[in-house]
Amino acid sequence: MAERSDCIFCRIADGAVPAAIVREDDYTVAFRDLDPKAPLHVLVIPRRHIASINDVADDDAAMMGALFIAARDVAVSEGVAEDGYRLVVNTGAAANQTVHHVHLHVIGGRDMKWPPG
């Protein structure tokens, strides 16, 4: 698993790697996905490195809440909140987690199908 120094998302959060940032605050950074799966596809990450949901600690509750508030704010600012959007969290290899840093996918701008994947 990636450590902070070689984690691409940590490097984006630190400003060392450029990204199309759409929102940031003390706890989170949101940026456009480089391989979008819908007209809107934004990733929301915590600034602090946490490899996966399995690594979230009980005392991370406030930070996880900030992550979901940031996702909501992205949906509102990007104009998909009223029509609907999907939040996706992939955890582990079988779920196709390719970057080992907790992140929410905010996906919208088209009708979603169920079941996914």
Asked if 107 and 35 count as a contact pair (C-beta separation under 8 A), the reply is no
Neighbours of 10 (CB within 10 A): 21
**Tell me, what DSSP letter sits at residue 45?**
E
**Active site residue: 49, 101, 103, 105, which one?**
103
Question: Is 103 a residue of the active site?
Answer: yes
Number of H helices, E strands in the chain: 2, 5
Dihedral angle of Cα 99, 114, 71, 31, to the nearest 10 degrees: 50
Name the residues annotated as catalytic.
Answer: 103
